[in-house]
Amino acid sequence: MMQIRYNNQIIDFENKAPVTLAEFLKHVSLDEKVVTVILNEQIVKTADYDKTILSNGDHIDVVELITGG
């Protein structure tokens, strides 16, 4: 089992295969086109979400972009 700290909550994954950042975002019902992800205090480029493999104990903070006037 893998644990990820997401916005100060612990998310447990029982998936045996490596989990990408893109898969994680789908798991927590977030659209990768409208969020900025900070993984272990580093901003991750949207183009790298599919290539970024998560590890046990990673810290993810997500900021949702909101438009308006």
DSSP string for 35-54: EEEEETTEEE-GGGTTT-B-
3-state helix, strand, coil in the chain (%, to 5): 20, 40, 45
Determine the Cα–Cα distance for residues 10 and 4; give it in Å rounded to an integer.
6
- pLDDT digit string (tens) for 7-57? 989 988 776 678 899 999 998 999 998 899 999 999 999 999 999 999 999
Domains of the chain, CATH where assigned: 2-64 (3.10.20.30)
For residue 69, pLDDT over 80 is answered with no
Whole-angstrom CA distances from 21 to 66, 67, 68, 69 are 21, 24, 27, 31
Indicate if the pLDDT at residue 59 is higher than 80. Answer: yes
